[in-house]
Amino acid sequence: MASASQLRNRINRQGNDVRRILVTGASGDVGRKTLLHLLKTRPASDLVALVRDSSKAEDLAALGVELRQGDYFDRASLLHAFAGVEKLMMTSTHAFTDRKTAQGNVIRAAVDAGVEHLVSMSIARKKNSTFSMKEITEEDLFTEQMLMSSGLTYTLAYHPPFLDVLAFYIGANACETGVRVPAGSGKFAAATRDDLAAAHAAILSGDGHENKSYTLTGDPSVSFSDIAEILSNIHGKEVPHTTLSDEAYFELKRADGVPDFVVEFACKWVQGMNAGEWEDQTGDLEALIGRRAKTAPEFFRDDFPLSAKR
Ligand SMILES: NC(=O)c1ccc[n+]([C@@H]2O[C@H](COP(=O)([O-])OP(=O)(O)OC[C@H]3O[C@@H](n4cnc5c(N)ncnc54)[C@H](OP(=O)(O)O)[C@@H]3O)[C@@H](O)[C@H]2O)c1
């Protein structure tokens, strides 16, 4: 049954013919890209961007997207920002920032503000897998359970590793140094943030995604050894795949000034990739975006290491 605030939003929408979509994390990569994809099918007047700092999203404002300020740790700001919103994309927040409280606040505020449908993103988990990642798995499960028991219509978008972030694991200068990572031969179906954002936009602007989950995967799956071969082919020279002990990997990253807790986090991601935690391919990403997603060879040819980002 619709809540009082949902009914109020519906009446407002009928009066004003507005079905507004809000995307959180709009000053960041995935959130901004989701809005840019939404702009291809929806008028800017339908779209709202949640930001902490408006100066970081002036480009979106220039395109006509309304900016609203809000912080995941300030529920009053969220409640205010979500007024009149029908669908909400919750861009997950950074590890090591109390994601349970932050994302829980977004869900509670969405309920209180009368939002109808919330789209949430989690890191994909293989069926029956026992693999878990500190700061990720437990927080994702918490968020999903809270969302599914909130009474909101939901869609869960499960993500693979971002292709755009692989530079952090293998080194932005991997073409010169070789692909240096802890040992393992598993494959992973990484995808670009841009294609994942396009899938979010398809969910937010289309129908039939109510109370469904999608596991978004790239194609083909690749291993670190495959990546070394891809780089070798692109650059016409041998780029070796060198396996390191976890200790040696720590030393390498420490020398780059990366704090230990971040190296530990990176190691866990690499272990998951090497263990095949994200090897499965589902076809969900292509089905949602209606085209082939960018492949790993295309990404390494066109974008590596330009998009290197921690
Ligand atoms: N699948 C993967 O391989 C992978 C890799 C890395 C990250 N991730 C996840 O994907 C998410 C999105 O990635 P991204 O590349 O778009 O990250 P990003 O560029 O760092 O963007 C994160 C966004 O979250 C916002 N944010 C952070 N804390 C907030 C708060 N307390 N209140 C409101 N907004 C807040 C940031 O706002 P500000 O600009 O104000 O900081 C920013 O807009 C990450 O947050 C992380 O959970 C996944």
CA distance 119 to 306: 29
Does any ligand 1 atom lie closer than 6 A to the CB of residue 28? yes
pLDDT of 81 reads 98
User: Measured in angstroms, how far is the CA atom of residue 10 from the centroid of ligand 1?
Assistant: 30
Q: Which residue has the tokens 């912080």?
A: 71
Q: In 3-state terms, the chain is what percent helix, strand and coil (to 5)? A: 45, 15, 40
Instruction: Locate the ligand 1 atom nearest the alpha carbon of residue 99 and give its number.
Output: 47
Note the pLDDT of residue 19: 81
What is the CA(310)–ligand 1 centre distance, in A? 11
| Atom number, ligand 1, closest to the C-alpha of residue 121 | 10
Amino acid at 251: E
Residue 81: name the closest of 100, 56, 97, 105 by CA.
105
- Please state the rounded mean pLDDT for residues 296-302: 96
Residue 268 Cβ < 6 Å to ligand 1: no
Q: Is 136 in the pocket of ligand 1 (CB under 6 A)?
A: no
For residue 127, the 8-state DSSP code is T
What distance in angstroms lies between residue 309's CA and the mean position of ligand 1's atoms?
12
How many whole angstroms from 93 Cα to the centroid of ligand 1?
5
pTM of structure: 0.95
| Cβ of 159 below 6 Å from ligand 1 | yes
CB of 31 closer than 6 angstroms to any ligand 1 atom: yes
pLDDT tens sequence across 125-184: 999 999 999 999 999 999 999 999 999 999 999 999 999 999 999 999 999 999 999 999
Instruction: Judge whether residue 254 has pLDDT over 50.
Output: yes
Pocket test of ligand 1: the residue of 88, 93, 135, 168 to mutate, having most ligand atoms within 8 Å of its CB, is 93
Q: List, edge to edge, every strand of the sheet that includes 85-90.
A: 66-69, 47-51, 20-23, 85-90, 117-123, 153-159, 212-215
Which atom of ligand 1 has the smallest separation from the CA of 160? 1
Does the CB atom of residue 135 touch ligand 1 within 6 A? Answer: no
Write down the H helix ranges in 116-259.
137-148, 166-170, 174-177, 193-205, 224-235, 246-255
**pLDDT the model gives residue 151:** 98
pLDDT in tens, 34-88: 999 999 999 999 999 999 999 999 999 999 999 999 999 999 999 999 999 999 9
